[in-house]
Amino acid sequence: MLNIGRKHLVHIVKYRWIWMALTAILLIPGIVAMIYSSAHYANHAPLKVGIDYTGGTILQYGVEQKVTNSDLTVIRENLEKKGIENPYIQILNVNNDQQKNTKSEIQSIVSIRTKFIDKNSTDGDKITEVMQGQYSNPELMSVNSVGPTMGKELFKNSLIAVTLAFLGIVAYLSFRFRFDYALAAILGVLHDVLFVVGAFSILGLVYNVQIDGLFITAILTVIGFSVHDTIVVFDRIRENLRYYSKKMSFGEIVDASVNQTLTRSINTSLTTLITLLALYFWGGVTTRDFVLAMILGIAIGTYSSIFFCSMLVDFWNDKNEDKRTDALAV
């Protein structure tokens, strides 16, 4: 039975403008960062994109010393002096297989991403010279390249994947719910994606974080998770409207429905976040940015399904009620 009392943990209707203000606070810094990035980067992208999309070469060197972040700063400065523009440098963990395939006892792996190096370029030799000047006997472990044409093709396919996901969600929600519910859910998805993209735009500017194909995978997963939570809340609102529309106002039903699904939404998100946090701190370095995108997306998706989407549905219902009242007055 629906609890028609006023003792709710969450009040969507009463504090509607607070949720709107909080949403603006969450989104505006990322939007500003994306605008700045678009004006600052040569490719005018809102994010710092990796070689998966721009094309480029990754060289990995094994060294016998422990590499620190201050070492990376020195390497970057020396590479730029050699004419290597905007190198992206990371410290990678050494796994057992890599250790077996090396000639020496390596302690760290330095990964250097740069623009595409063709056979006639001397940039590879310049990078090796810098590494030899920094460390004794650095071992070139691997060289991987992605051509500019392939990078553009991957970028196009990623956009197609995200677009198809959105269109599929719009079609399903429009069939499953009323149009205003479907529109609120889609805006919730856009809200979540914009937050994650904005956060990585900030990370790109501050910490030089680049996105790759795994980032698109994370975005698609966030889209699915966001819609899943929102559908649960909307389904409960629709069910309660069926039985209590004559006894309670729409806003009261929204508040009660959100509180009925609140525990389930939070528990589902928490169990997922615990797993992702374990992967972030103890998983591989290569998947860390992917896991971070998932953590941010699931956290903001839980917020949007509870506060943002339900608030939009209530707001639009009030607007429609006002229009109907004005029409009757005339």
Could you give the residue range(s) of every CATH 3.30.70.3220 domain in the chain?
56-146
The Cα–Cα gap between 31 and 36 comes to: 9
130-178 confidence digits (pLDDT tens): 999 988 888 888 888 877 666 677 778 888 888 888 888 888 888 887 7
**Coil, strand, or helix at residue 236?**
helix
Cβ neighbours for 210, distance < 8 A, ≥ 6 positions apart: 48, 49, 50, 88, 113, 204
- H helices of 208-249, where? 213-244
The Cα–Cα gap between 280 and 273 comes to: 10
8 A C-beta contact, residue 142 and residue 127? no
Structure tokens at 149: 């044409």
The Cα–Cα gap between 306 and 54 comes to: 38
Structure tokens at 192: 């979540």
pLDDT for 326: 45
pLDDT for 129: 93
Task: Residue count of the chain, please give it.
Answer: 330
Could you give the residue range(s) of every CATH 1.20.1640.10 domain in the chain?
16-43+150-329
Task: Please say whether the structural domain 16-43+150-329 has been given the CATH code 3.10.400.10.
Answer: no
CA distances from 104 to 25, 53, 110, 133, 140 (A): 51, 34, 15, 18, 12
Counting Cβ atoms within 10 Å, is residue 38 exposed (0-12), middle (13-18) or buried (19+)? middle
pLDDT for 131: 92
Q: Which CATH architecture fits 56-146? A: 2-Layer Sandwich (3.30)
258-313 confidence digits (pLDDT tens): 999 998 899 999 999 999 999 999 877 778 899 999 999 999 999 999 999 998 98
Q: Which residues pair with 111 in a beta bridge?
A: 60, 90
The Cα–Cα gap between 279 and 291 comes to: 7
The Cα–Cα gap between 221 and 198 comes to: 17
Higher pLDDT pick, 170 / 234: 234
**Nearest Cα to Cα of residue 104 among 89, 94, 91:** 94
pLDDT for 329: 45
313-330 confidence digits (pLDDT tens): 888 887 776 554 444 344
pLDDT, mean over the chain:
84
pLDDT for 330: 41
The Cα–Cα gap between 144 and 101 comes to: 17
What distance lies between CA 81 and its chain's CA centroid? 34
Strand runs (DSSP E) across 47-149, as ranges? 56-63, 88-92, 108-114, 139-146
The Cα–Cα gap between 56 and 84 comes to: 12
8 A C-beta contact, residue 298 and residue 225? yes
pLDDT for 321: 67
